[in-house]
Amino acid sequence: MEYSNALKKFGPGPSAAEVERMLEEIRPLTEKNRNREVYRKCFSCIDLTSLGSTDSHEHIERFVRKAVEFPSHYPDIPNVASVCVYPAFVETAGVAIGESGLAITSVSGGFPSSQTYLEVKMLETSMAVENGADEIDIVIGVGEMLSGEYDPMGNEIETLRKEVGEDVTLKVILETGLLREPALIYRAAVIAMLAGADFIKTSTGKTGTGATPEAAVAMCAAIRSFAEKTGRATGFKAAGGISAPDDAVLYYTIVERLLGEEYLTPERFRLGASSLAGNLLDAITGREERYF
């Protein structure tokens, strides 16, 4: 696909000033969402994440077991949406999950920099799916995006979409902290959606800047425009530095305001996090749980 031409029908996206004006309207609305019901919804949309350099099969097994056993300890609280691990641990996660039905997310495609051969990205992605990944998170070619090489970037996402297959959810990470400008984030989001993304995601959490409200607004504006012009709904995932319940509520409110309540389900809204799960659980129960 010629993405440079395809972008034209979606407009330039919001300016920094327009994004700030939208946030000025949205921030006061978070007050009504600081309650246990919204915390519960946010908890159910978490991709519980372990992407550390010290991860091991033993660690991942314990990590996943915690999530699998959560409903037996907290039967009145909906469980997280998935566990997110490196490709090498997908099979280990699958064994620990057993018949529980919990989804497995795997990062792939040369995560977090995406700086390797396309053939390697394809093989890593197909192996993750073969080993049991239900969802795949890949990173765009940030350098290509910054250089205006939209076609190679989009075509690579298309290729990995084919490796993932139609039955597996594809989330495309824009690494918005490196793109910075709302208009550029908007364009990257549209390209990712045109190339077949089921979700667009803010960040890897491996650079200096993770998720920001400004990036979320630009991405949600792109999702809305894309849905209006194509009839296809795309999910939004915020990840990178999200740990406090108030952070989760802000992203929840941005999605609520710009996309509507129908997007506030695990099928359309995700939060990539580790410590957030424990902090939200404390907020839901009103006491320090120390479960995660």
Q: Which residues are identified as catalytic?
A: 137, 201, 237
Phi, psi dihedrals of residue 161, rounded to the nearest 5°? -60, -40
Task: Read off the DSSP letter of residue 54.
Answer: T
Task: Read off the DSSP letter of residue 99.
Answer: T
What's the alpha-carbon Rg for the chain, to the nearest Å? 18
Phi, psi dihedrals of residue 145, rounded to the nearest 5°? -65, -45
Please name the residues in contact with 149: beta carbons below 8 A apart, sequence gap of 6 or more.
141
Gap between the Cα atoms of 20 and 22, Å rounded: 5
Contact by Cβ (8 Å): 186, 221: yes
Contact by Cβ (8 Å): 150, 142: no
Q: Count Cα atoms within 13 angstroms, Cβ side, for 63.
A: 27
| Among 268, 252, 178, 187, residue whose Cα is nearest residue 216 | 252
